[in-house]
Structure 1
């Protein structure tokens, strides 16, 4: 939430939890972004670390007018990793067309491997999503 506030966006926590963790709003234009935050603890690897995340398939496929932005954060060496910020439709496309992730009990399991500034999931590069706040441009008040 603090990252969005630093960018000048207003942030709210929904009173009823139906899948969105936070709403991010550009006050002057009324632009709304929905955000789902997923966290994991790292597993140390010889050349970096990895983390596993679970996303309900029904939520991922529930595309509406306001897309969800998934933020994947990893707790590594007592610190948070740089966030992976990826829009719902892109993540769904990776799953359905590039075979990223694995379906299990109604969820998609994403296994991300981090090495320096590189992020890989199911053989696909996700590095471009590190700190990818392109849909949340800086707002000057």
Structure 2
């Protein structure tokens, strides 16, 4: 048995890990005991085995390519979300630093003015 595990893209902030069974390929569309009901027989040219031999590699390529696209979209969505959070955090940090800088600058100016006024009073 061969399984393919990848991240499925749900949205930019949501990715879901998925496991898909690649081989052996299971026949779909049958429900429990309804295996023979409503089923048509088809004639294959060349034989069904040869058609399967030609289609199976293309099917696997398509499933793997789709998984690669989903994984790539998931990665880009996760990166976009992470960069958005990093940008928000950086903006918040910049705001705090600017506020702190302004407080220190104001305290320095106030101290210098107090020293000047104190020196002027001492000269009188």
State the TM bucket, normalised to the shorter chain.
Answer: under 0.3
TM-score by length of 1: 0.23
Q: Which structure shows the bigger proportion of residues in strand conformation?
A: 1
Larger Rg: 2
Q: Which has the higher contact order (CA 8 A, sep 6+)?
A: 2
Q: Which structure shows the bigger proportion of residues in helix conformation?
A: 2
